Amino acid sequence: MHFYIVALLFAIAGTFVAAGVSCFLPGLHVYNVMGFVVLFYLPFIDVVEPFLMLMFLAGMVTGFGILFTISTIYYSAPDDTTAFYFMPTQKYLMVGRGHEAAMFAGIGGLMGLFALVIILPFFMGFLATLRELVGPHIHWLLGSIIAFLLISEWPREYGRSKMHMFDLDMSYKGDLDKGRIPEALKTGISEWKKPLGRDVVITKPRNFEWEIGDGRRTYIIHETSPLKDTTTGEFKSPPRLMVLNRTPKWYRLKEAYKSNAAGVLTFALASWLGMLVFFKTMVPPDRAFQTLMPTFVGLFATSAIVLAFISRVKVPKQHLAKCYDLDTETIAKGSGSGALAGIFAAFIPAVTPGVSGTLGGNATGLRDDKIFIMNGGTNRVVYYVGAIALFLLPLLHLRRGGMAINVNLFFVPQTTEQFLLITAAIAICGFISFVMLIYASKFVAKLVERIQYQYLNLIVLCIIIAIIFLMTSWQGLGLMFVATMIGLVPVMWNSRRLNLLAVILVPIWLNMAGVGPMIAEMMGLA
């Protein structure tokens, strides 16, 4: 009994460490911290029981799964798993509801823990059989996922046929009715560097619109209706003349494909970076186990922080709600789809919650923001904590993710008792993490109100740079800089950040297909 209590205390200690990392060191992935902890522990392996260290790491992962949503919301520093639902949480933050978004994700995480603890032990035999069936086909399964990610970037709209340029006062309406072009209109068009030619024709195809064309370009002057307040009956906005430019087809095609081209470029650059990292030692040899650390920090954390820093965003006052508008149906939809996506990511190598969340979202067609955020919270927790459970699950012992890889250096699962004890620890640490999330979210919400957002992001960026330098030296900083430049492509051109996950998807897919070394040699990396 004494050993069980000590083991649970180790797990709880790991949860507190994860809380500090999640709240005050945003952008630093738990697997990176775990690698540092394991490196520190190995010389003392004869002093501290390996199972106790496993409990400490399990508590870290559980706490990280619940609490890292704080960084995602308040610091604009998502990791690879939260990139999938980055925008909805930021939308909540910018309307003063960041705390609500954090709680939605936390509730989803709790539901994911409940599903793992209660349901997973009954599927040991099924999962063992599924592993035998799926194992030989992982390479084409990953290839299909990559193809879906690229195909789903197909344009969903074809650009705007009319582009708003500027407004005119209603006093010019009389000139337009008489077929005269006001000088203010000519001046405004010239400022856009699109002056009218000589053969100008003005027509009025509708009572509220005029068309002006010179054979090359067409401009539309649209008379808007006054906006009326339905409660007071007063006019909020007077009518005005909107000057619109009718864009040509080639422009609309360019606008439609711009973000998609950026997405494909992001995928290609991330794939190249992934091959470089997997086949070349880019950091000091004694820190080779941390090669992915500066890569992921650059792709997902520093790129978002840099954008937030230069965008001059002002975070509004946050409302700390005491109750949350959630019903049973919303919780069931969000946590149910998130649990399925998370266990898929935990079971299939190289698939992270960002990828599985996209697949699950397309499969279920769920679009509500609350469901979206809760789905992400459940998905992330099931992925991280599920990797522990699958590693210790009798009949399976599946190694997936950085947790199992690090733990396998000093511990091999042996008994069902170990699985049951760590399951109990996960449940306890999950409850403690959720309670901590409530207070940590409120604290950080007040912090971002009092400290200017740009200064806060600058402080976070400096902390991350210092950690990267201490862990991976200047080579890691160089790798982080390259990854940051790639990470800025999707956020600057409004494409999906999910394409950045090609950094691990493509190299692992090529290796599992047996052609990775050959491709690396062709690229000059071998």
Q: List, for residues 453-486, the tens digit of each pLDDT value.
A: 677 778 878 888 888 888 888 999 999 999 999 9
Q: How confident is the model over 190-205, as pLDDT tens digits?
A: 877 677 777 788 888 8
Q: Please state, rounded to an integer, the average pLDDT across all residues of the chain.
A: 82
Share of the chain above pLDDT 90, in %: 21
- Pairing type for strands 209-213 and 201-206 reads antiparallel
Instruction: List pLDDT tens digits, range 306-323.
Output: 877 776 667 788 888 878
Helix, coil or strand: residue 431: helix
Partners of residue 242 on adjacent β-strands: 167, 222
The better pLDDT of the pair 189, 107 is held by: 107
| Model confidence at 344: pLDDT above 50 | yes
Question: What does the pLDDT average to over 280-284?
Answer: 81
In this predicted structure, which of 22-26, 104-108, 410-414 has the lowest mean pLDDT?
Answer: 22-26
The set of long-range contacts for 165-170, using a CB threshold of 8 Å and a minimum separation of 24, is 165/189, 165/192, 165/219, 165/243, 165/244, 165/245, 166/192, 166/243, 167/240, 167/241, 167/242, 167/243, 168/221, 168/240, 168/241, 168/242, 168/243, 169/240, 169/241, 170/223, 170/238, 170/239, 170/240, 170/241
Question: Mean pLDDT, to the nearest integer, of 415-429?
Answer: 89
Q: Name residues whose C-beta falls within 8 Å of residue 490's C-beta, 6 or more positions apart in sequence.
A: 262, 263, 266, 496, 497, 499, 500
The tens digit of pLDDT for each residue in 260-275 reads: 888 899 999 999 999 9
Model confidence over 95-124: pLDDT tens digits? 888 899 999 999 999 999 988 888 888 888
| Average pLDDT estimate for 77-94 | 61
- DSSP secondary structure of 239-306: --EEEEEE--HHHHHHHHHHHHHHHHHHHHHHHHHHHHHHHS--S-GGGGGGTHHHHHIIIIIIHHHH
Q: Is the pLDDT of residue 520 over 80?
A: yes
Confidence band for 83, pLDDT divided at 50, 70 and 90: very low
Task: Say if residue 233's pLDDT is above 60.
Answer: no
Domains of the chain by residue range: 2-156+258-522, 162-246
Residue 11 has a pLDDT of 93
Per the listing, tokens 């490196």 go with: 39
Return the pLDDT at 505.
93
